[in-house]
Structure 1
Amino acid sequence: MIVAFSVAPSVSSSSDSVHDAVAAAVRIVRASGLPNRTSSMFTEIEGEWDEVMAVVKAATLAVAEHGTRVSLVLKADYRPGHTGELDGKVQRLEQALAATEAEGTA
């Protein structure tokens, strides 16, 4: 399964910036050893249901240490029997785009 999630304190205890809290969450994800990537808005992680959800929970609890309330946005793609989809989905998209561009130049 792939989970894309964003977690941040709703009320920061130190400043208007939430980067320290988000960094604490990303550290948890990276230490998990599961395939992952972080962009400006979301962190994606891939693995089995229980292990992915355990990492999301740990990341959420790490953020909770930075404020009085936590906001969690989560989107999941549950597809049993498939692995390597964190990169595979992007590769297939890029191939489709390249094919369309090639058709346009022919």
Structure 2
Amino acid sequence: MLVAFSVAPSGTGRSDGSVHDAVAAAVRIVRESGLPHRTTSMFTEIEGEWDDVFDVVKRATEAVGAFGSRVSLVLKADIRPGFTGELDAKIDRLEAALEASEDELDD
């Protein structure tokens, strides 16, 4: 399964609204999990078995909770039994499709 999630504290008391320290605490947990992952400016994607992935998401959310009085969690899952390596494979298929359509335009 693939999960894309974003977790952030609120009620931090910071006037600048910055949450980078809290997000870093969450990303550290993801990286230490050993599961395949990718972090972008808005989400962290993680791949693995249901229980393993949700354990990491739970621990990351709890880590962020230490930085504020509330936590916001946004989560999207792609549950496709029998498939692994999709963190990169989905991107590879997209790039191949884009390249194929560009080749068709060149013809």
TM category, shorter: over 0.9
Asked if residue 29 in structure 1 is aligned to residue 11 in structure 2, the reply is no
Any gaps of 5 or more consecutive residues in structure 1? none
2:10 corresponds to: 10
Taking the aligned partners of 2:72 and 2:91, their CA distance within structure 1 comes to 27
Name the SS of the counterpart of 2:105 in structure 1. Answer: helix
Provide the aligned C-alpha RMSD in A. Answer: 0.8
AA matched with 2:105 = G
Residue 67 of structure 1: CA displacement?
Answer: 0.2
Residue 13 of structure 1: CA displacement?
Answer: 3.9
Taking the aligned partners of 1:94 and 1:11, their CA distance within structure 2 comes to 41
Residue 102 of structure 1: CA displacement?
Answer: 0.3
Residue 12 of structure 1: CA displacement?
Answer: 1.5
AA matched with 1:51 = D
**CA deviation digits over 1:21-43, x for unaligned, max 9?**
00000000000000000000000
Q: How does 1:1-106 map to 2 (within 5 A)?
A: 1-15=1-15, 16-106=17-107
Any gaps of 5 or more consecutive residues in structure 2? none
AA matched with 1:5 = F
Taking the aligned partners of 2:81 and 2:11, their CA distance within structure 1 comes to 37
AA matched with 1:22 = V
Identity of aligned residues (%): 72
**CA deviation digits over 1:34-54, x for unaligned, max 9?**
000000000000000000000
Taking the aligned partners of 1:5 and 1:34, their CA distance within structure 2 comes to 14
Number of aligned positions between the proteins: 106
TM-score (ref. length: structure 1) = 0.97
